Amino acid sequence: MTEIRKFSIPGFVKKRMGGPVSLPEVETDDLIRLVNLCKVYDTGAIKVVGLNNINLTIKKGEFVAIMGQSGSGKSTLMNILGCLDRPVLGHYYLDGIDISSLNQDQLSRIRNQKIGFVFQSFNLISRTPAVKNVELPMTYAHVPKKVRHERAIELLERVGLGQRTEHMPNEMSGGQRQRVAIARALANEPPLILADEPTGNLDTASSIEIMELFAKLHEEGATVVVVTHEEEIAAFTERIIRFRDGRIVSDRRNLKQRIPDAVPHSREGKEEETEECF
């Protein structure tokens, strides 16, 4: 892994990015707060409950796994957390901002400023160099060309791809592609990283590398929320929230968190069987 360098987007660039959405923002340690949140899909003939009265707080700097069987509401939750969709009832506060009240323009600005997305299928532009892929969110945020290029290179170094900045994603392994996607997610210094099954298309060794990278970002202060159905992946996180039928059925601190550089396939990350709830 290359040396970690700290950097930040200069103030004048942030100003060009539009600054914070002009809504009252409450100073808080809670990055995510869901209050009586419900999502119902209206399919015409029937209404399908996606999320049923969710109350949940995630603090700045937490590393959280969202688990549950297919259809339990994980993607619905991620779409709401990622400001891609809005709840039908209840409130979602992101970094003190009441998301439920925003219009589409405000939502897309919030997405650009506050959230870095990592997807199962990487969602990179395949015949475009890694560095350009990482620059993309900064282009949308009107970061000047030179600043965004330098920052993209630094981000690729940070995820261990300093030697591959000009490689195309289709010349890279799955693990390397996901590293590019993580560098891209970090581009606008979002306070929240959302990863939906980020290891779903990776082999075991690459999955461990990617989770170790998230663990490192978490140690550096990032808030990371990962959806997974694999216990071995959730084992890297410090808190595991389980969903069933659109409800939270358990929310526990992972007291045996798997630390990076652990021996592959070890089972030391087994969740603590306590009733400690948040």
- Where on the chain is the footprint of ligand ADP (CB under 6 A)? 41, 43, 48, 50, 68, 70-76
Span of 4-12, 71-79, 177-185, 209-217 interacting with Mg ion by CB under 5 A = 71-79
Minimum Å gap between C-beta 34 and ligand ADP is 14
What are the C-alpha distances in Å from 68 to residues 55, 74, 228? 17, 7, 8
Name the helix (H) or strand (E) containing 48: strand 47-59
Minimum Å gap between C-beta 68 and Mg ion is 9
Residue number with CB closer to ligand ADP (71 or 162): 71
Minimum Å gap between C-beta 100 and ligand ADP is 18
Query: Residue 43 binds which entry of ligand ADP, Mg ion, none, with Cβ cut-offs from 5 to 8 Å by kind?
Result: ligand ADP
SS3 content of the chain, % helix, strand, coil (to 5): 30, 25, 45
Minimum Å gap between C-beta 128 and Mg ion is 28
Query: Residue 41 binds which entry of ligand ADP, Mg ion, none, with Cβ cut-offs from 5 to 8 Å by kind?
Result: ligand ADP
206 DSSP β-pair partners: none
Query: According to the binding rule CB under 5 A, does residue 75 interact with Mg ion?
Result: yes
Query: Residue 190 binds which entry of ligand ADP, Mg ion, none, with Cβ cut-offs from 5 to 8 Å by kind?
Result: none
Query: Residue 72 binds which entry of ligand ADP, Mg ion, none, with Cβ cut-offs from 5 to 8 Å by kind?
Result: ligand ADP
Cα-based torsion angle of the residue sequence 18, 20, 23, 29 in order, rounded to the nearest 10 degrees = 170
CB 86 within 8 A of CB 40: no
* Radius of gyration (C-alpha) of the chain in whole angstroms: 19
Distance (Å, whole) CA 43 – CA 212: 40
Span of 27-35, 66-74, 178-186, 199-207 interacting with Mg ion by CB under 5 A = 66-74
CB 232 within 8 A of CB 269: yes
| 10: Cβ contacts below 8 Å, ≥ 6 apart | 147
Residue number with CB closer to ligand ADP (40 or 147): 40
Minimum Å gap between C-beta 231 and Mg ion is 17
Binding site for Mg ion (CB under 5 A): 74-75
